[in-house]
């Protein structure tokens, strides 16, 4: 159980919205445009950590920057729209707001894209602020991002990080937050358990039981 009125930090991709179509579609477009054979396998493993950090393993260090530029171009044009809130998320956010929990978004995605997505899907009204990275790659590490967010907020009270990948869980633990892993995103239960999640939930409605009465 978390403390009353704990600050809640939500990851975006894989937690609030299913962003796979836009991210993977933009990646496949970028790889093909660079003249590199497009992998047939599932590329969802690339969602979670910063895309730029994972591309070298996929296309080689010599092509990484070119592919990333093509990826960013398509994602900026249309990829961010190829997205949808998960079932039950809007209702969850309504309940959290009604109960008085201060909610924030903490994502390695650039803030400009995160805000655009939240506004497009009418989710921004549920969050006090959005903490993301910069286009130049600043604050793409989740532990550093959360530390910066807490410092920006002058936060010294209880908090919860809710996310679908080990990066969210590890960042929560590094910052003294209760780590809630969600299984409807891009990470597995095993990944979340091995990262040390305090709680793992299988549907948005299950978060209600994790939060103490506010």
pLDDT attached to residue 41 = 80
Is residue 156 annotated as a catalytic residue, yes or no?
no
Looking at domain 20-81, its CATH class is: mainly alpha
Residue given tokens 């989710």 in the structure block? 123
Q: What is 7-18+83-209's CATH topology?
A: Rossmann fold (3.40.50)
Share of the chain above pLDDT 70, in %: 96
C-alpha 177/C-alpha 7 separation (Å) is 9
Q: Which helix (H) or strand (E) holds 40?
A: none
**How does pLDDT run across 107-122, given as a tens digit for each residue?**
999 999 999 999 999 9
Q: Cβ(116)–Cβ(80) under 8 Å? A: yes
The C-alpha torsion from 206 through 48 and 13 to 200, rounded to 10°, is 0
Question: Residue 88, CB half-sphere, CA atoms under 13 Å: how many?
Answer: 11
**How does pLDDT run across 169-195, given as a tens digit for each residue?**
999 999 999 999 999 999 999 999 999
Catalytic, out of 11, 13, 164, 168: 11
* Integer angstrom CA distances of residue 159 from 33, 62, 64, 180, 211: 43, 41, 36, 11, 11
Query: Where in the chain are the domains?
Result: 7-18+83-209, 20-81
* Integer angstrom CA distances of residue 39 from 9, 44, 69, 139, 185: 34, 12, 19, 29, 22
**How does pLDDT run across 51-101, given as a tens digit for each residue?**
887 888 888 889 999 999 999 999 999 999 999 999 999 999 999 999 999
């Amino acid at each position: 159980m978390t403390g009353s009125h704990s600050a809640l930090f939500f990851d975006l991709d894989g937690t609030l919205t299913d962003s796979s179509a836009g991210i993977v579609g933009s990646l496949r477009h970028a790889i093909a445009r660079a003249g590199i054979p497009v992998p047939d396998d599932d590329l969802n493993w690339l969602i979670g950590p910063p895309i730029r950090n994972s591309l070298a393993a996929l296309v080689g260090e010599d092509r990484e920057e070119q592919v990333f530029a093509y990826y960013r171009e398509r994602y900026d044009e249309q990829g961010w729209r190829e997205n949808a809130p998960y079932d039950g998320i809007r209702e969850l956010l309504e309940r959290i707001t009604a109960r008085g929990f201060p909610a924030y978004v903490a994502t390695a995605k650039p803030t400009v894209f995160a805000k655009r997505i939240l506004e497009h899907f009418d989710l921004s009204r549920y969050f006090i602020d959005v903490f993301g990275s910069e286009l130049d790659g600043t604050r793409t590490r989740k532990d550093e991002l959360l530390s910066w967010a807490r410092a920006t907020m002058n936060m010294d009270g209880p908090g919860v990080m809710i996310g679908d990948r080990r990066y969210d869980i590890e960042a929560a633990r590094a910052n003294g937050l209760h780590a809630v892993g969600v299984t409807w995103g891009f990470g597995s239960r095993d990944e979340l358990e091995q990262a040390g999640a305090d709680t793992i939930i299988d549907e948005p409605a299950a978060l209600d039981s994790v939060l103490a009465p506010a």
